Chain A
Amino acid sequence: MTAGEVVDRIKRNLGAPWRENTYRDTFKSGTPETPVTGIATTVFASFDVIQRAVAAGLNMIIPHEVTFWNDRDDKSLVETDPLVYQQKLAYLVAQNVVVFRTHDSMHDQRPDFTFVGSAREIGLDAKYETSPGSHRFILPETTLGALAASVQRRTGARALRVVGDPNARVSRIQLGVGYATAAANTADVDVVISGEQQEVDGVLDSPEYVLDAAALGIPKGWIMLGHAVSEESGMLEMAEWIRGFVPEVPVQLVKAGEPFWTPK
């Protein structure tokens, strides 16, 4: 079983056309000819994840996100870094690690496991979803404060951030993942829960919008889990899916985890 064969099977089983011109879903390290000893799915191919995967005997990493700290994994943007870049690169080569990112394909797939995983972890039950794949959930009415506390408890996100009046009465939730985060002024939505969104100078700056809505007594909320927490849960479903058509080697989730902590 080579890394190239694993990728071929992913393409064959995807159920959606493969984007031939994607710059994201490509090999970031290693070659298609490399024999695979085991597969680790994860949200970020962090140095730590790579080391733990190697220790577990898994030499192929399938991250949803980047390896070299920019969307294109363009090494020229970061190769001047004297701290860790060379070390990470050297480790990947020395350990014969293959990294193949699945981002665009994962979001093209139905269901999109990033949404499935995040809804599972947050506890947004399918019975509340307005229609399959809408990612819109009508929950029994609660307060933004109670909802945020429940989301934090279930995800364990230490550095989750919330904007809005904690006492606002809310029930209509729009789930987003990663940076695919709906604007806070999306019609018929009280609360947007997602990973990350630009704070200022975006297409719609949700934090400021929600602050003003709160000042007007309009119930709105914005709950950001952080990019890693938002999209890591679905890498469990991803591992299970790959296991189904790659029975030759072990496949498991190796969590990158939340990068942040918060001061007292």
Chain B
Amino acid sequence: MTRVSRRVFVRMGAAGAAAAPWVLDPFAIGAATITARQVFERIQRFAGVEWKAVTVDGFKAGDPSTAVTGIVTSALATLDVLRRAVKAGANLIVTAGPTFYSRDDSATPAAGRGRSAAAPAPDPVFAAKSEFIRANQLVVWRFSDHWRLRSPDPFAAGLADALGWARYAADGDPGRLMVPAVTLDALAARVKSRLEARGGVRVVGRPQTRVRTIGVLPGTRSIQETVALLPHVDAVIAGEIREWESSEYARDVVNAGLGKGLILIGRSLSEEAGMKMCADWLRPIVREAPVRWLTAGDPYWRPTV
């Protein structure tokens, strides 16, 4: 650990343990240094899943040989999350979502993107984000494909936990919850409140439908996955779906008179709790640096009409 980063930790510790309780962890202020690449290697070793040849996971920005001062996990490496990470003294961001606004995660807009195939003009948002990462010597590493391969699915487990219903996981599977009876309306309100959603929660179904079994589908999910799950539960809580697929299917199911519901919360919000869980998982395996989760928040709002 570098002299500078140790000063940062001391300053943060003085500012209040409540704001950064991990600074009091003797291991966190320990003598050992770890690089971003070593963190990645340790994750690979402990993840217990086979590493894919083709994956979105990997380093997206910064120098992997950078000594890590602190680790932040988040559903989405937004500029706001990066700024708060720097304030917290962290320089390695472990994100579930892309950094540069696409699956490719290229630090400049790709040619042909958007409406014209011409080389794109310099983009002020891409440029400012790259510059912020460079100026603060941040490293961003994406952890999406492999984190969700773990069993049980940490994104489902995180959601169940965030809803306060981890103990209701059916047969230990957090993707299937058996909860005390609740109306779809009350369930949607609970989801909104517990996940601190703003405008991201959308519901298909009759508000008074009685829900006792819930299927959880975090991330971006297909019609086949919804068709495979909804028949076996009263309601499905999903991240992102295509609207010509799962929401129309749910609408038809409901209009056939069946008491079912579909609650959509958005991809990013559906992965928040799973990345909080990721911080808890990382902490004991990377004792050289403090680990904390930062919320990226619900991207969506709607007008109050």
Q: Which residues of A contact B (CB under 8 A)?
A: 44, 46-48, 51, 65-66, 69-71, 77-78, 80-84, 87-88, 145, 148-149, 152-153, 159-163, 166, 179, 182-183, 185-187, 195-196, 198-213, 215-216, 218, 226-228, 259-264
Contact = CB atoms under 8 A, between A and B. Distances in A.
Contact of B203 (A148, A202, A226, A262): A262
Contacts of A201: 56, 97-98, 102-103, 220
B255 A47 contact: yes
B124 A216 contact: yes
Given A205-B98, A261-B203, A46 B129 contact: no
Contacts of B123: 185
Contacts of B185: 263
Given A47-B256, A204-B101, A161 B76 contact: no
Given A182-B114, A216-B125, A263-B189, A160 B302 contact: yes
Contact of A46 (B200, B202, B251, B301): B251
B227 A228 contact: no
Contacts of B264: 260
Contact of B115 (A81, A87, A182, A198): A182
A211 B189 contact: no
**Shortest 5 CB-CB distances between A and B: which pairs?**
A263-B188, A227-B243, A149-B303, A260-B202, A201-B103
B113 A212 contact: no
Interface of B: 56, 76, 78-80, 83, 97-98, 101-103, 109-110, 113-115, 121, 123-126, 128-129, 185, 188-189, 191-192, 199-204, 207, 220, 223-224, 227-228, 230-231, 240, 242-253, 255-256, 258, 260, 264, 266-268, 299-303, 305
Contacts of A148: 302-303
B204 A259 contact: yes
A161 B80 CA distance: 20
Nearest to B228: A80
Nearest to A220: B125
24 contacts: A44-B251, A46-B252, A46-B255, A48-B251, A48-B255, A70-B223, A78-B249, A81-B231, A83-B253, A84-B253, A145-B303, A161-B300, A162-B303, A163-B301, A166-B301, A198-B240, A199-B267, A204-B109, A208-B97, A212-B128, A259-B247, A259-B251, A263-B203, A264-B189
A83 B114 CA distance: 40
Nearest to A199: B267
Contacts of B76: 200, 208, 211
Contacts of A226: 202, 243
Given A77-B223, A200-B98, A201-B97, 14 more contacts: A44-B248, A48-B252, A70-B245, A80-B228, A149-B305, A152-B303, A162-B300, A199-B299, A204-B114, A209-B101, A216-B125, A218-B124, A227-B244, A263-B185
Given A44-B248, A205-B98, A78 B80 contact: no
